[in-house]
A and B are shown apart, each in its own frame.
Chain A
Amino acid sequence: MTSKNVLLIFKSNIMYKPVIYRLARDFELVFNILEAKILPRKEGRILLELRGSEDIIAEGIRFLEQNRVVVEPLSDKVWREDEKCVNCGACTGLCPTDALSMKRPEMTVSFDVEKCVACGMCGLVCPFGAMRDITLFDPFAEGRSDSK
């Protein structure tokens, strides 16, 4: 059993096909929707955590692609520029998945890209620009309107 976080991009013409349901029924993949959004240009984006054996995950992804869903592994979307990281730990309290975590007792910060869901929080928090990401969802899209 392994798990993989992927980003699915649905163009509007296929948005309402029940492909995700079939992932579970036909492939017996366990999935967990981490985030989903319909963007203004009528494109749907879903962050999905897939669980199952490596083969079945690969088959499931092939099935999605055959149905014209664009599937991108999340681990390509966020990376750390290690030489910029000072191991302060500021990002660890805000990372929702423990992809960034303190190693104790050394108090250094580990980055496990496989756990990352590309939420963009660390990019906002890191004072040294060490966490880089390709924006999947605009983190401020539903931000504060009462800005000073």
Chain B
Amino acid sequence: MGEFKINKTFGEINKKIQDGSVVVLTAEEMIGATKELGPIEAAHKVDVVTTGTFGIMCSSGAFLNFGHSKPRIKANKVFINGVEAYAGIAAVDCYLGAAQTREDDPLNKVFPGRFRYGGGHVIEDLVSGKQVRLEALAYGTDCYPNLRHEADMALRDFPDAWLLNPRNGYQNYNCAVNLSKKTIYTYMGVLRPDCTNANYSTSGQLSPLLNDPFYRTIGLGTRIFLGGGVGYVIGNGTQHNPNVKRSENGVVMGGAGTLSVKGDLKHMSPKYLRGASLTGYGCSLNVGIGVPIPILNEEMAMFTSVSDDDILAPIVDYGLDYPQGTGAPLGYVSYAQLKTGEMDFNGQKVTTSPLASYSTALEIAVILRDWIKSGRFLLGEPQDTLPSAPFSGFEMLK
């Protein structure tokens, strides 16, 4: 480093946020700004670029402490509205996974199952202020004699409630098709046989990790928009893999980096945390995330000006290849193409539809932009960055 013409620090940008002189653009606005001004001038003028995504993120859940009963209990089974939460930790702590189904759910016994209510829905009900039914069962100890505790509780009655997600915000993802002869029901939606339709799932040019492809500014301690409230990146997510094939601009050509995030559930909103039911697949949670990216230098200006034309998704067959763990991508398609609603595949027109809401992702990027402009939201400087990959730099900056 040090070879850049523009060099800013987190501290300098935070000072500008506090004195109200900060310039913040959404990742969508940054595309035009960099084109117009060039990367050096854009890096000089723009301090922060905000990103957003709102999609189904199964690797999510709530860490809940439900408080002590009288007499006290050491719960070893916990159910909330009939959905089991993992209770193999201290007496009244539990973890409610977004993908957990109700105990009495018929699952896929009559295929395809509908999975109408699960962990993600409990989380949505909690942030909506609804009461939920808590049931805790125990075997009883000298210090925790209670064997059974039931209570109707709202979110405010839980001493602690965090959203704690092991893997969110996948940097790029597959475009799913189905080459088999029957309709399939997957976590990538319903896919008609013979490659009739294709589903894709990230917010492309607005997506957090696609705007900082080498994780230069994102890491443990990055303050973010999470579920309508404030949260933090607490490290890389599970399955984080920086070594995925990249195109010349450094953009990954498949699922790569991931984030692990945490935030106080009590400040979140059902608008950005939504229980989801995926027919034939299961329950999940739609999570809204927005990450601010400081424009520390002209390279960050280049990264954040990435557009849907420059981002390629691998086309993957969910009929046979994906479930069997075999095969290679059938090709690549740009997000710009995917967003038109149609793509060409093997000489055939295929309908494309998104699974993540681009319009809500943009809403999140705008809210985060306005939070920063108002001086209420300072950037968190990462104490540790995420495992990354080498990058030789942009030709045009050399």
Contacts and interface: CB of A to CB of B under 8 A. Distances in A.
Interface of A: 86-94, 102, 104, 106-108, 121, 124-125, 127-129, 143-144, 147-148
B353 A89 contact: yes
Contacts of B274: 86, 128
B360 A86 contact: yes
B189 A125 contact: yes
Given A107-B362, A127-B276, A147-B111, 8 more contacts: A86-B357, A88-B354, A88-B356, A89-B354, A91-B353, A93-B341, A93-B353, A128-B276
B63 interface: no
Contacts of B116: 129
Given A90-B353, A148-B108, A108 B359 contact: yes
B34 interface: no
Nearest to B288: A86
Nearest to B114: A124
A26 to B, nearest CB: 39
A148 B359 contact: no
B341 A107 contact: no
A87 B359 contact: yes
A88 to B, nearest CB: 4
B110 interface: yes
Contacts of A89: 353-355, 357-358
Nearest to B277: A127
Contact of A127 (B198, B284, B339, B352): B284
Contacts of B100: none
Contacts of B386: none
B286 interface: yes
Contacts of B110: 147
Interface string B180-206: 001100000110100001110000000
Given A93-B197, A143-B111, A102 B357 contact: no
B278 interface: yes
B279 interface: yes
Contacts of B279: 124-125
A125 B190 contact: yes
A106 B182 CA distance: 33
Contacts of B215: none
A121 B191 CA distance: 12
Contacts of A125: 189-190, 279
Contacts of A143: 111
Nearest to A86: B357
Contacts of A108: 359
A90 B355 CA distance: 5
Contacts of A104: 339-341
Question: Which 9 pairs from chain A and chain B are nearest by CB?
Answer: A93-B353, A147-B111, A127-B276, A107-B358, A89-B354, A93-B197, A88-B357, A93-B351, A87-B359
Contact of B341 (A86, A92, A106, A144): A92
Contact of A144 (B111, B198, B275, B359): B111
B56 interface: yes
B377 interface: no
B79 interface: no
6 contacts: A86-B357, A88-B54, A94-B190, A121-B190, A127-B276, A129-B116
Contact of A92 (B278, B353, B356, B359): B353
A28 B351 CA distance: 35
A29 B116 CA distance: 43
A144 B360 CA distance: 35
B341 A102 contact: yes
A93 B198 contact: yes
A91 B331 CA distance: 24
A90 B356 CA distance: 8
B355 A88 contact: yes
Contact of B56 (A94, A107, A127, A147): A127
